Amino acid sequence: MRKYWEFTQKNVFSKLLSLLGRMTHENLTCQIEYLKVENEILRKRVGKSIRPTAIERRMLLKFGAPLGKDIKNIISIVTYETFLLWVRKYKRNRHLDKVNKRGRPKTPQEIRQLVIKLAKENAWGYVRILGELKKLNINRLSKSSVKNILKENNLDPAPQRSKDTWDSFIKRHFQTLWACDFFTKQVLTPLGPRVFFVLFFINIRTRKVCVAGATQHPNQEWVNKRAQNILPLLADNKSGKNLLIRDRDTKFSREFDELFKNMGFTLQKTPFMSPNMNSYAESWVGTIKRECLNYFIVFGEKHLWYLIKEYVKHYNTTRPHSSMDNMLLEETRLNKESTGEIKCQSRLGGIIRHYYRG
């Protein structure tokens, strides 16, 4: 009776353990199936392949290798064949940190910089750039490679990139370019304060300034007369045609344009309300006011003309120019001496000073 009771007790305990194991197994199976579905949904949202790091691969091997062939039913981050390859490498003690790069090797940085340079300096298309590279014995690039390099650096294709800019226009005509404009100065006269208009011309290459005149009433007739008087000083270039930049002020008439065209000039008008397009002339206006005219109360036209002439003489002969590597625009006797005592020459009551050796 006792043995029967022990047998029955063991049988019940075994069935109970079997029931609990079956319930646990079914629960784990349901969890795995749910995680597989969830993982599949997440992978679709990602939309690209996932490359595990070395640490992540070790973790996958640690928990996946003991499952043997059963992992084939649940693995999704990589293919089953890839996982077997990891296992074989691990068994042969090969280093798993190295990842084989896919696709073509990346274009060297030196060649990439050359492609960008050719595109920026020339209005060339992809095929033309390839031809230039081939001439330099660089044959590893394709048309799509050139396209991708330019696209990565925000460079448009040839039709859009070849648009002429104002900056490139200035540089292209730098050697033969003049600009003209007006600036104003309030002058005290017997009839009270009056505003005078000063017409000037500046050579963009040499920075040399020529002042045509000053008046209270700068009408078209006055502008044409002053332009005719100063034209011989401007049209002395022998290397090619000169070009004149001017704004759309109504004081510059058709007769004004004809005067310059007859002397071999080409006229270029700036857009409306765009003083930045005539930046060299605008910069000089700021310079003469900042360094000279703002220090004076001007009494009469003669006083104004005297101040302008003295400053222009200083600007063209004895003032160093930072944009010209701090060189002088003209060589004079006072500028040529490199030894001797340092002396100072002043103008306009000490507002303008020039230091030299002599």
Beta bridge partners of 206: none
Same domain membership, residue 124 and residue 69: no
DSSP code, position 77: S
Same domain membership, residue 180 and residue 156: no
Torsion region of 93: left, alpha or beta (phi above 0 gives left; psi -120 to 50 gives alpha)? left
Domain finish residue from 63, 91, 119: 91
* DSSP secondary structure letters along 230-295: HHHHH----SS-EEEEE---TTS-HHHHHHHHHTTEEEEEPPTT-GGGGHHHHHHHHHHHHHTGGG
Whether residue 86 lies inside any domain: the answer is yes
Same domain membership, residue 132 and residue 114: yes
Q: Cβ-count burial of 98 within 10 angstroms (0-12 exposed, 13-18 middle, 19+ buried)?
A: exposed
Same domain membership, residue 118 and residue 32: no
Same domain membership, residue 180 and residue 84: no
CA distance 109 to 79: 35
Kindly report whether the global pTM for this prediction surpasses the value 0.75. no
Same domain membership, residue 296 and residue 211: yes
Whether residue 158 lies inside any domain: the answer is yes
Whether residue 104 lies inside any domain: the answer is no
**Per-residue b or e along 185-220, where b marks 16 or more CB atoms closer than 10 Å to that residue's CB:** bebeeeeeeeebbbbbbbbbeebbbbbbbbeeebee
**Number of domains observed in the structure of the chain:** 3
pLDDT of residue 7: 46
Same domain membership, residue 136 and residue 80: no
Whether residue 77 lies inside any domain: the answer is yes
Whether residue 266 lies inside any domain: the answer is yes
Same domain membership, residue 320 and residue 271: yes
Beta bridge partners of 345: 354
Token pair 């600007």: residue = 315
Domain finish residue from 39, 63, 91: 91
Same domain membership, residue 81 and residue 42: yes
Same domain membership, residue 84 and residue 203: no
- CATH code assigned at 305: 3.30.420.10
CA distance 200 to 290: 17
CA distance 119 to 349: 54
Nearest-Å Rg of the Cα atoms of the chain is 42
Q: What is the pLDDT along the chain (358 residues), one digit of tens a residue?
A: 554 455 455 555 565 556 555 656 666 777 777 777 777 777 776 766 777 787 888 888 887 788 777 777 777 777 888 888 888 887 776 554 555 555 567 788 888 888 888 887 777 778 888 888 888 888 878 888 888 888 888 777 665 555 555 556 555 555 678 899 999 999 999 999 999 999 999 988 888 899 999 999 999 999 999 999 988 888 765 555 788 889 999 999 999 999 999 888 888 888 888 888 888 899 999 999 999 999 999 999 999 999 999 999 999 888 888 776 777 877 655 556 667 788 888 888 888 888 887 6
Copy the structure tokens of residue 203. 């050579």
Whether residue 269 lies inside any domain: the answer is yes
CA distance 112 to 24: 60
Whether residue 303 lies inside any domain: the answer is yes
Please choose, from the candidates 314, 270, 315, 299, the residue with its C-alpha nearest in 3D space to the C-alpha of residue 196.
Answer: 299
Same domain membership, residue 224 and residue 308: yes
Beta bridge partners of 187: 194, 298
What is the extent of the structural domain holding 79?
2-91
Whether residue 342 lies inside any domain: the answer is no
Same domain membership, residue 182 and residue 157: no
